[in-house]
């Protein structure tokens, strides 16, 4: 019975999504926040070298459009309120 189960498992192929999930979990067990900050910084620097301001304007426009399609007026009121509160705290901390 054990041999049959092993053969069945060997014949099942892992999906790309499943492989990515398992790889991500393994990576997160072996690395800390600093690791992710470092690879994020390196990726951002590499992207900045390859693209100009028009690239960033375009992805910003697309992101804004996607956000507006997925959220209503209440969402924008809430993030505006939170942003205003955060700025107020920043100003108060400087004084």
Domain ranges of the chain: 15-50, 52-95
> DSSP per residue over 8-76, as a string?
HHHHSPPPHHHHHHHHHHHHHHH--HHHHHHHHHHHHHHHHHH--HHHHHHHHHHHHHHHHHH--HHHH
Given this model, what pLDDT does residue 8 score?
A: 53
Given this model, what pLDDT does residue 19 score?
A: 96
Which residues of the chain fall short of a pLDDT of 50?
Answer: 7
Given this model, what pLDDT does residue 12 score?
A: 81
Given this model, what pLDDT does residue 35 score?
A: 96
Q: What pTM value is reported for the model?
A: 0.50
């Amino acid at each position: 019975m054990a041999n049959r189960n092993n053969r069945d498992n060997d014949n099942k192929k892992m999906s790309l999504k499943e492989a990515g999930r398992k790889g991500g979990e393994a990576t997160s067990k072996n690395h800390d926040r600093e690791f992710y900050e470092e690879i994020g910084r390196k990726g951002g620097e590499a992207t900045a070298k390859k693209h100009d301001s028009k690239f960033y304007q375009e992805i910003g426009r697309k992101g804004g459009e996607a956000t507006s399609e997925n959220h209503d007026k209440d969402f924008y009121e809430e993030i505006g309120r939170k942003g205003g509160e955060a700025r107020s705290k920043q100003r108060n901390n400087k004084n």
